[in-house]
Amino acid sequence: MSSKPDIFTPLSPVQKDQFLEDYLAHLRRRDGEPDVANRRFSVREQFFREFEEHPVRRSGPLVVDPAVFRRNEQKYHPEVGVDEVTLWALAVAKTNRAERDGVDYALARIDTEKMSDRDPYTYILIEEFYHTRVLKDALSVLGLEMRDLPPPRTTQFLTHSLFYFPKPISHLMVLCAEIVGATGFRLLADKTHELFADQPESLTRIDELFQQILVDEVGHVHYARSQLGPARLKIAEKMLPFVGRYLLRDIPEFELLFGRQKMMESVLQADVDSAVAQYADRFTPIYR
């Protein structure tokens, strides 16, 4: 990288305090009241209720064979000859598995009654469950049904281990993983305009769903950054290429769709704010 991405520039104590105040206000406005027991938000539920009342599906023949999708959904590497639309659908189905599995593991081992609506982490955990719901809805536009399958065992071991790591270490990994996640979702969202532009209504629905995830993910990146000081941010910057290659290796569909070089260049730029620049509801930190 020719210059340090902004996300690795440390915040002052005053900026950290300001960030947490502003970010929590953003979460309350965007999500509403958290219901930890049921993993729901009051405002976000209204969004999905409207989508359920007005479903959108592509018309005409299915662009992805459900049998091919279902067969490859549980494979580590897709079958030879799978087309781009099917690769996109498989990447969508696989891309949230690690985070959802890690959050499931954590919530099963913490006292949820102690989780506070004054802590951004409470919102972040619940948002990950909405991401699975978003991805299922995006695939349903194509007439596909996504299953809640576990991530590969190596990734599952890492996500479970993070729960036991000291926070100074786990936040390093989380920052890198969230950068990779935001990058991957942005690439998938952009790809929809190549693959589904022939039916604008269904394309718009998929766009709206990806907006939900991207705005959340970029917020998560900024939160992880706020938890790290100068030394650990330097370490995180050095770790990013390794974490990026590790996570992307677990979803071969990304490399088949975008190429390894493009993927890693996008990850290492760590320009997460540009991933949500077009969204009015994005969170944009303003530091004084």
pLDDT, tens digit, 9 for 90 and up, residues 172-184: 999 999 999 999 9
Secondary structure in 3-state letters for 63-123: CCCHHHHHHHHCCCCCCCCCCHHHHHHHHHHHCCHHHHHHHHHHHCCCCHHHCCCCCHHHH
Residue 1: the pLDDT is: 40
Residue 276: count other Cβ atoms within 10 Å of its Cβ: 22
Residue 229: the pLDDT is: 95
Residue 135: the pLDDT is: 94
What is the pLDDT averaged over residues 58-63?
Answer: 96
pLDDT tens per residue across span 248-276: 888 999 999 999 999 999 999 999 999 99
Percent of all residues in the chain with a pLDDT value above 90, rounded to a whole number: 73
What sections of the chain are H helices per DSSP?
Answer: 13-31, 42-53, 66-73, 84-94, 97-107, 120-140, 153-162, 167-195, 200-226, 230-249, 252-258, 260-269
Buried b (16+ CB within 10 A) or exposed e, 244-261: bebbbebbbbbbbbbeee
Categorize the per-residue pLDDT at 5 as very low, low, confident or very high, splitting at 50, 70 and 90: confident
Region 6-276: CATH code = 1.10.620
Which of the two residues, 255 and 99, has the higher pLDDT score?
Answer: 255
pLDDT value at 34 more than 90? yes
Instruction: Write out the two tokens for 166.
Output: 């000291």
Give the start-to-end residue ranges of the domains of the chain.
6-276
